[in-house]
Amino acid sequence: MKKILVVALSAFLFIACEKETEIPLEVNVDVVGWWLLHSIIIDDVEQDLNRCQADTYLLLDADERVINYIVNVDPQFGCFPNDGGNGWYVVSGNEITINYDEGNAYNENDTYTFELKDDKLFLHISNNEIYIYNRK
């Protein structure tokens, strides 16, 4: 009986210590809101935005969720509604790392990091792409 009590107490203390070490993340309220795609830089070269990309928005909300989608629906130009994927962002100072759910349009092997600079939001992707957003 003593052995069971010791094991149970040890397990309880382990779980209690694990819970205590979890530090809740604070949402960086400066990045919450709607962002309109301004430009794309690939391998240090600025790209021309096509008609579909020009209507791409990014929404960061206070529940630490991110939604990236295109609102322009014009089949003539190949633009269709696209939710691009949902995920959550992890805040660390001015850097936010996005973790996308499976089954989205993004390569899961890439890492995504936001940087807020001069009231522009820079989405750095590990494949040498940078998406720059203006506040909407």
The DSSP bridge partners found for residue 131 are: 40, 123
Q: What's the CATH number where 48 sits? A: 2.40.128.280
11 lies in some domain: no
20, part of any domain: no
Mean pLDDT of 13-30: 48
Q: Answer for the pair 106, 93: CB distance below 8 angstroms, yes or no.
A: no
What pLDDT, on a 0 to 100 scale, did the predictor assign at position 119?
A: 85
Structural domain of residue 41, as residue ranges?
26-135
Reported pTM: 0.55
Report residue 6's pLDDT band, with 50, 70 and 90 as the boundaries. very low
Q: Is residue 42 part of a domain?
A: yes
Asked whether residue 10 is assigned to any structural domain, the reply reads: no
Is 6 within a domain?
A: no
Closest CA to 130 of 38, 65, 60: 38
Q: Please, which residues have CB within 8 angstroms of residue 96's CB and are 6 or more apart in sequence? A: 28, 31, 60, 89, 90, 113, 114
**pLDDT tens, 89-125?**
444 444 455 554 444 444 445 666 778 888 898 888 7
Number of domains composing the chain: 1
